[in-house]
Structure 1
Amino acid sequence: MFKWKIERCDEAKVAEFQSRTDLNRLTLEVLSARGYNDLDSIVDFFTDTELEGPSALIDMDKAVEHIEQAIDSYDLICIYGDYDCDGITSTTILFNYLESMGANVMYYIPEREAGYGMNIEAVEELAEKGVKLIITVDNGISAIEEAKKCKELGIKLVVTDHHQPGEELPDALAVVDPHRTDCPSKFKDLCGAGVALKLCAALDGGSYDAVFEQYADICAIGTVADIVPLNGENRTIVKRGLQYLPNTEIPGLDMMLDKLKIDRKAIGSEHIGFRIGPVINASGRFGSPLTAVKALTSEDPEDAESYVETMITLNTMRRSAEADIMKEIEAYIDEHPEVLWHRVLVLAGKGWHHGVIGIVASKVLDKYSKPTIIISIEENGMARGSARSVKGFNIHTCLTYCEELLIKYGGHECAGGFSLFEEKLDAFRDKIYEFAAGLEKPAIKVITADKLLMPDDLSIDMVKGLKVLEPTGEGNLKPVFAILGAKVTDIAGLSDNKHTKITFTYGTAKAQALMFGHDPTMLCFAKGDVIDMLVNLEINVFNGRESLAIKVMDHRLSGVKQERYFAAKDTYEKLMRGEELPANFVKKIIPERSELVSVYKYISAVRTTDIDKLFMKLSGDSMNYCKLHICVDIFKDKGLIDYVPSSSAIVFKPVTKRVDLDESETLVRLRSMLGKVE
């Protein structure tokens, strides 16, 4: 179960702004909940930010000077990119531009196995090929040793990047990075593709007109895929890019839209984030990033089609690899349920493809609502890890705490990567647990809703008004709404019960909602129950007819007290980790016989359930999550149920003879603990 937070708007301000703007009430309520509570901030949000002149980025003029010299001299220029979507799109933008200017230009992107950023071996290889100038895109700010090697080999170096610089900058002819402390540019959140776009504009005399027309679509893809905040200049870039994308002049991108069956009349940032971006990323994760660059730079439609088909195949392989790793993780958890008792999940496996462990970490976090670290153990005794987290558990701080065990690491609050020797894994895991134990409270995933919906909000006109908030993404998330107290009037399975459609009443409103990935036979509610939901609202258009689409993100039976749930869950996990609990806690979590009977009767009646559903159905003043889980543990001890830790599934097992629950290992241990603390 996830923790919900429902924001509130300033109703007086919303009423005032309704009379002073063309925005509808629902849109203004979302903006107010997000902190836009004065007219100037609202006007700023909807006014496309004009991009600063490219020369506002420090060293941009130097970069232009040296690149133009190389073009004029017909020196071999190499664009040194990165293997993710931002690096691939950055490389594409700059390569296409320089080629159109008649430059002698090539590109180089290291394979994922070589690691992020520049490396000495690559610099030496490029020197042998006769490269006279290297321009980095989406990397280079930390290439201190590589810059020295360039100088030693007589290669000129221009760095363009958007990552945080260290204490020392590379010794290059120009170091263009908005995060340099001495950079005067006002907007700091550009991705690598955004910096590359500005470099092209600077080379084009400072005007954005031509580069927007040619590269805004590619730049928008890099911007959304790199999950930089979609505000300010990034919002302008993505809006312009989405205007050009339906009629893109890039053959490979045009082919991709067709093969992914993306409706060109309705392309939005979500299509980039969930469809286009992953296909481009798959090349760097599971194949070669060069495939994607070739797809986006080829002018031959047949070649472009071939590359795109390869990318889509790689993306399918990527999904399959993720699914296989998830199955291995679930099997491991079922064998080692103690993994789930810790505040952070640390899971390692041999041969897990390092190109997808970051995505797997995100999926595990989403499933178990805890910070997650996934580690791939390689045949050479090395291990590479990827971490994903939530607010309250800083990944970079955590990795720094463990730095004496790591070969290298990097990251920020919510994500990071690292490498270490396999022999250090156990010590690393213990150190992670030690760090987590020192936190005041466990960090858990929180889903924030912008507003508690009223029945009259569920109208086509009201929801259509939300479209002005697009493009949505990092820093401007798609609105999430809460519906509390909806009565379910019908439940129907879709696509062989892979998905569910529910019909419900909500005050005076009657509506339908879709629950993707939910089997109607496994829901926590039945027809007639009252439920709470977090939803996205959209407008569907079919045969020219508009309809309201409600997509359920999370749901629960109405009235669940989430603070009690998470507090008692933390107590249960402390108990299972062997931490000392106060005597009054131990007394409260030992179930009475009548409580055991009540829980057992419910399980025997429904046959199959899980811990969260059990909590929703049976929790009360004396029955909390911890005590419920202990009841389940007792039944499992005595063979009355099967329990699957990875899914928390509970399956009833009929018995033919009387069972003495007092002999349960769990009860014996708890009573022993009580004796020790009293």
Structure 2
Amino acid sequence: MLHPRRLALRPHQPEEARALAQALDIPEVIAQLLIQRQLRDQDEARSFLYDDASQVCSDPMLFRDMGKAVGLIEAAIEQGHPIFIHGDYDVDGICSTVLLAEGLQELGAQVEHHVPCRFTEGYGVSVKAVEAAAARGAKMLLTCDCGSSSHQAIDVAHDLGMTVIVTDHHHLPAQLPNPEAHLNPQLPDCAYPFKPMCGTTVAYKLICALHQQRGLAWPTQFLDLVAVATIADVMPLVGENRGLVRSGLRQLALLERPGLRALAQISGLEEGPWGSFAVGFGLGPRLNAAGRLEHARLGVQLLMTQEDEPARKQASYLDKLNQQRRDLEAGMRAQVEERLAQDPSLLELGVVVEAGEEWHQGVVGITASRVVDRYGLPAFIMGRVGDVCKGSARAPENVNLHAAMQKCADVFVKFGGHARAAGFTVAWDRVDEMRRRLAEAVAEVRQGPAPVHVDLELDLKAANLDLARSLKMLEPLGEGNRTPVFLARRVRLDQLKVMGKTGEHLRCRLVQGNLERKAVAFRMADDRPHILDKHLYYDVTFELEEESWEGHSYASLRVQAVLEPEPQVFALLQNKAQWNRQEATPCLVDGRNVVSRRAYLEALLHQGHTPLVVVHDQAQREKVQGALPQHLLSIETYASLRAGFDDVVLLYPPSTRQDLLQSAIQQAARVHVLFGGRELRQEIQRQSQLWLDRPRLEGVWKSLRRHAREGRVEVRQFPSVEEDIRPLKACLQQAVQVFEELQLVERKSDSWIIRTSGGRKLEESRRYQEMCQGREQFMQLVQGFDERHLRLEEHLVRA
């Protein structure tokens, strides 16, 4: 479950959203989400919503060395020289290899291709593969999704008489290799304006430039590969990437490629149009499973297959590999969670560092990501290989992973990565030291709790089918354009059922008032014991989507997190509360999310506590007396509190800070906050009728002047004055007292004498200053009863 303090609700600009919605003729919720994505300009927002690849892509010839690369390839085609394409073992490497192989073959090139084995060759251009290709007669080495740091392989290629073209997108080493042409948007002198693209997109730009050189149309048939790679490689879906993926998803939905058609069928994907979710959680993991568990060439073969039957067999095999990957990952995750449950002190370190003898290298990274999602802590997960451990690290956004690793760099054999992800090797006998050193380093670089961002607070009434359909305007969703996450307050979770083959998911209905919505919560079955569905309301974060069943569409909620209930309230409702006074000030117990306040009071009485119940007035006192045995309760208003109670239950908010400083509350062991937003709004409304600011005082003064006869307002005129200032009626006596202090009014037994000159400044009135101070203190008190968590500690401490 999610601790409330990790919740980070993005700012809401309703007026700006309303104006943008009217200008673009879109729902206000969509406009607000665009503003949160820094799309305030109407033209930029319109481009974001509607432009495709043809409208956002720049001239590929802007790439550094693109002209050289095109000339070298055209010469190789003309001379009949074989081109050796070398890719990588992830989805991006697979797709870029297929794109270059097919694209160049269509232009008349002789090509062969190679993707490395993760376990025997590792990342980068394989020297052995280059030597073997040269021996077979290859005259050109063309890399994709790799090569920018492959100095040795490029030198070997040159020694063997090969021309080298590197196409890559990774960050550059301090010393660059020396190919004949180097296509990488990260190069400092590369003029191409859009930088954060994947390797497949760089390869696509090369094929586009070759088509452009020959006067051919853009090769849109490869955009399906660009879309799959961009999403799977977690590139930001903004700018060119967004346009390319939008066009690519349309191309993908046609399923013209037999391999992708078979993969879609085996993934259980319905016919398009698809969003990025179908790629990120359907196609991508199955293609990735080839390189993770066996060999990436299985993915290349599938994508290049031209016949349906072989494609179905290959897709089925990849699906089985992906299931193996999921089983391996689930097993590793279960072992990690079991260790942490058995020894909670490991979590107190603030970083998870775990190693396993048989843990598979291909799934340590995804396991680390799952651990981060669950615990909100950086995770280092590794498998033993002989005398060393090789692993992957992931971190939430409040921890700079690379900075932490730099602080204890000597403990690693080697490591590399960036702020959120890294790979590393460490000696097996130094894992415990690594855990200790990393705990110290992470503590130094951590910046607050790991935030969980929420876009908007939304009632379930607004989380409807119309909004679910409108949200599709934001597709494609992914990195840089995350699926919107909403927050529903005070929701009951009903009809909870465990689901899934491994029993790790939940199905339920979210109920808010008279409304309910179907929902599913993936990998949250472990939270079931912490959900008291009959006794507590919960705050829930969720994503909203459209689903269909037997021809009927409905709004479905994908629960992202259920916020933790107040631990003491949870224990009390289970009759397990164990309270010992340890602090000088009372302990605050937030019971505002209980379904039944009567049940809460009964639980207190059942466990032997005799509380002092604080109500607003006699009417509320009688209501409580009628619900529970009177002889078991002490019920008082704030004006008549008596000390001597360990438990004080507030059924109505205090009006002033002084109410909380009474000895009855100060001497209590626990103060239970049991009123809700309705009571708080009532008190705000009551208080606001008593507040006097300058405009209100001016209104009262003008009314007195209007009713004055020869500078006097007589008693019989008072009702007329009150009627004239009806909204300020309750403030009249206070206003007159202020005017008396300012020597503007003199009160007689039968009248008020009104003076029109000779008065003092308003700020000189002590009563006015006290009222302003009281209003400010009350609003600070209201802020203390924050929606997410109580912040009243400072109000319980005497000045």
Aligned to 2:122: 115
How far apart are 1:404 and its partner, in Å? Answer: 3.1
Shift of the 44–211 alpha-carbon distance from structure 1 to 2, 3 Å rule, reads: closer
Structure 1 residues 161 and 484: CA distance shift in structure 2, 3 A: same
Cross-structure match for 1:432: 438
**Structure 1 CA distance for aligned equivalents of residues 447 and 123 of structure 2:** 34
> Residue in 2 aligned with 1:184?
191
Shift of 1:65: 1.2
**Deviates further, 400-409 or 95-104:** 400-409
Contact 2:382 2:389 in 1 (8 A): yes
Change (3 A) 1:426 1:155: farther
Give 1:2-81 correspondences, 5 Å limit: 2=2, 3-48=6-51, 49-81=55-87
Answer yes or no: is the 8 Å Cα contact 1:10–1:37 preserved in 2: no
How far apart, CA to CA, are the structure 1 residues paired with 2:26 and 2:202?
33
Identity of aligned residues (%): 31
In 2, Cα distance between the equivalents of 1:558 and 1:483? 15
Give 1:251 shift.
Answer: 1.3
Contact 2:290–2:298 (Cα < 8 Å) also in 1: yes
Cα distance in 1, alignment partners of residues 216 and 339 from structure 2: 55
Contact 1:529 1:557 in 2 (8 A): no
Distance 1:102 1:130 in 2: 17
Counterpart CA distance in 1 for 2:670 and 2:207 is: 64
Provide closer, same or farther for how the CA distance between residues 556 and 400 of structure 1 changes in structure 2, counting only shifts above 3 A. closer
The residue type paired with residue 72 of structure 2 is: H
Task: Measure the CA separation in 1 of the matches of 2:280 and 2:17.
Answer: 31
Residues 499 and 507, structure 2, Cα contact 8 Å, conserved in 1: no
Name the aligned partner's letter for residue 356 of structure 1: V
Distance in 2, Cα, partners of 1:521 & 1:142: 48
Matched, 1:216 2:216: no
Give, in angstroms, the shift of residue 480 of structure 1: 0.6
2:506 pairs with 1:479: no
Shift of the 399–494 alpha-carbon distance from structure 1 to 2, 3 Å rule, reads closer
Structure 1 residue corresponding to 2:101, chosen from 95, 105, 109: 95
TM (normalized to structure 1)? 0.79
RMSD: 3.1
* CA shift in 2, pair 1:207/1:283, >3 Å: farther
CA distance in 2, matches of 1:237, 1:209: 19
Aligned-partner Cα distance in 1 for 2:584–2:189 = 58
2:140 corresponds to which of 133, 137, 143: 133
1:491 aligns with 2:495: yes
Task: Give me the whole-angstrom Cα distance separating, in 2, the residues matched to 1:622 and 1:159.
Answer: 70
Residue equivalent to 1:634? none
Q: Indicate conservation of the 8 Å contact 1:82/1:138, yes or no.
A: yes
Shift of 1:407: 3.7
Q: After alignment, is 464-473 or 42-51 more displaced?
A: 42-51
- For the Cα contact (< 8 Å) 1:455–1:508, is it kept in 2? no
Deviation string 1:571-595 (CA, Å, 9 cap, x unpaired) is xxxxxxxxxxxxxxx9649999xxx
Task: Give the secondary-structure state (helix, strand or coil) at the position aligned to 2:71.
Answer: helix
Q: Report how far residue 528 of structure 1 moved.
A: 5.0
Which of 455-464 and 167-176 deviates more? 455-464
Residues 32-65 of structure 1 deviation map (CA, whole Å, 9 limit, x = unaligned): 2333333233223224252111111111111111
Could you tell me whether the CA contact under 8 Å between 1:53 and 1:206 is conserved in 2?
no
Query: Which residue, out of 448, 452, 458, partners 1:453?
Result: 458
**Which residue is equivalent to 1:313?**
320
Q: From 304, 327, 335, give the equivalent of 1:328.
A: 335
2:721 is matched with none
Is the alpha carbon distance of 1:237 and 1:199 closer, same or farther for their aligned partners in structure 2, counting shifts above 3 Å? same
Instruction: State whether residues 460 and 517 of structure 2, in contact with CA within 8 Å, keep that contact through their aligned partners in structure 1.
Output: no
CA radius of gyration, larger in: 2
Asked if structure 1 preserves the Cα contact closer than 8 Å seen for 2:398 and 2:450, the reply is no
2:640 paired residue number: none
Q: Is the contact made by 1:212 and 1:240 (CA closer than 8 Å) also made in structure 2?
A: no
CA-CA distance at 1:239 after TM superposition: 0.7
Aligned equivalents of 1:269 and 1:208: distance in 2?
32
1:524 Cα deviation after fit: 1.8
Deviation at 1:537, TM superposition (A): 1.1
Query: Contact 1:491–1:527 (CA<8 Å) still a contact in 2?
Result: no
Matched, 1:167 2:174: yes
C-alpha contact (below 8 Å) 1:34/1:450 kept by paired residues: no
Structure 2 residue aligned with 1:465: 470
Correspondence for 1:611: none
Q: Deviations over 1:610-632 (max 9, x none)?
A: xxxxxxxx9x99789xxxxxxxx
| Structure-2 separation of matches of 1:102 and 1:458 | 54
1:190–1:623 CA distance, 2 compared to 1 (3 A): farther
> CA shift at 1:300, angstroms?
3.1
After superposition, the Cα gap between the structure-2 partners of 1:420 and 1:247, relative to the gap in structure 1 and judged at 3 Å, is: same
Q: Secondary structure at the match of 1:511?
A: strand
2:517 aligns to what SS in structure 1?
strand
Match of 1:196 in 2: 203
Deviations 1:151-173 (A, max 9, x none): 22222110000011122221100
Which piece of structure 1 moves more, 99-108 or 355-364? 99-108
Q: Which amino acid aligns with 1:453?
A: L
**Residue 435 of structure 1: how far off its partner (Å):** 1.2
Which structure would you say has the larger RCO, counting Cα contacts within 8 Å and 6 or more residues apart? Answer: 1
Counterpart-to-counterpart distance in 1, 2:460 and 2:305 = 52
SS in structure 2 at match of 1:20 = helix
What do residues 264-294 of structure 1 show as CA deviations (whole Å, max 9, x unaligned)? Answer: 1342110100110000000000011001101
Closer, same or farther: CA 348–505 of 1 in aligned 2, 3 Å: closer
TM-score of the pair, normalised by structure 2: 0.67
1:300 paired residue number: 307
- 1:555 corresponds to: 562
**Distance (whole Å) between structure 2 residues aligned to residue 291 and residue 100 of structure 1:** 22
Unpaired runs of 5+ in structure 2? 569-580, 588-599, 608-648, 650-664, 672-799
* Correspondence for 1:536: 543
Q: Which amino acid aligns with 1:195?
A: V
- Please report how far the alpha carbon of residue 223 of structure 1 lies from its aligned counterpart in structure 2 after TM superposition: 0.4
Q: CA deviation at 1:500?
A: 4.2
Residue type at the aligned position of 1:491: Q
1:631-646 paired onto structure 2 within 5 Å: none
Q: Secondary structure at the match of 1:163?
A: coil
* 1:374 to 2:398 alignment: no
Contact 1:84 1:289 in 2 (8 A): yes
SS at match of 2:178: coil
Query: 1:355 aligns to what SS in structure 2?
Result: helix
Query: Do the aligned partners of residues 76 and 452 (structure 1) sit closer, same or farther apart at CA in structure 2, a change above 3 Å counting?
Result: same
Cα displacement (A) at 1:349: 1.3
Partner of 1:248: 255
**What is the DSSP-based 3-state SS (H/G/I as helix, E as strand, rest coil) of the residue aligned with 1:410?**
strand
**Partner Cα distance (2:566, 2:517) in 1:** 21
Q: Which moved more, 1:402-411 or 1:165-174?
A: 402-411
Give the distance between the partners of 2:396 and 2:518, measured in 1 at CA: 32
Contact 2:250 / 2:273 at 8 angstroms: preserved in 1? Answer: no
> Is the CA contact 1:162–1:192 (under 8 Å) kept in the aligned structure 2?
yes
Matched to 2:45, the amino acid is I
Q: 5+ residue gaps in structure 1? A: 562-585, 593-597, 606-617, 625-678
2-structure distance, mates of 1:546, 1:459:
11
Distance 1:223 1:275 in 2: 14
| Greater mean alpha carbon deviation, residues 10-19 or residues 500-509 | 500-509
Distance in 1, Cα, partners of 2:474 & 2:429: 50
Distance in 2 (alpha carbons) for counterparts of 1:208 and 1:559: 68
* Cα distance in 1 for residues equivalent to 2:440 and 2:506: 42
Q: Give the number of equivalent residue pairs.
A: 576
* CA gap 1:105/1:551 in 2 versus in 1, 3 angstroms: same
